[in-house]
Amino acid sequence: MTATSGLITLSGDGPLTADGPLLVMVQQTFTDYWNSSCAADDLASAIERGAAGATSNPSIVFEVLRREAGYRLPRVRQVAAATPAWNETDHAVRFGTLAPDIQIRSAATNAGITGLEEATA
């Protein structure tokens, strides 16, 4: 099977490989692709295929935390212990320094909305 779209030609019936259509897409177009899972193995595989990163949908993150508790929770506990007095604003401001285009999600609660308002003031 062969499909042509704009600048790239995708062909083959096999599984995605590191040099497959997703990597070709990000190399030859202005497209970024974000993986729908932040699970360690899923993300490593996606990055091999050109993914820019992973989405941070709360339900996806919760499922990954549940599945990878042994791997993820020690770091979550370490950060929480190091910043016990942090509120929504503190987290938003800190995460906002990690990259120029980072997305910060917050709960639609009074604390979350206030935190985002303060962080972007």
Element holding 41 (H helix, E strand): helix 40-48
pLDDT for 42-61, tens place per residue?
A: 888 888 888 888 887 888 88
Q: Where are the domains of the chain?
A: 1-71, 83-121
Average pLDDT, the chain: 79
- Tokens representing 75 are 């770091």
CA distance 103 to 30: 20
pLDDT of residue 22: 80
| Greater model confidence, 79 or 11 | 79
Whether residue 50 contacts residue 22, with contact meaning beta carbons closer than 8 Å, is answered with yes
Task: Indicate the range of 45-49, 51-55, 72-76, 98-102 predicted with least confidence.
Answer: 98-102
Using pLDDT thresholds of 50, 70 and 90, give the confidence band for residue 68. Answer: very high
DSSP category for residue 118: H
pLDDT at 36 over 50: yes
Looking at residue 77, its pLDDT comes to: 92
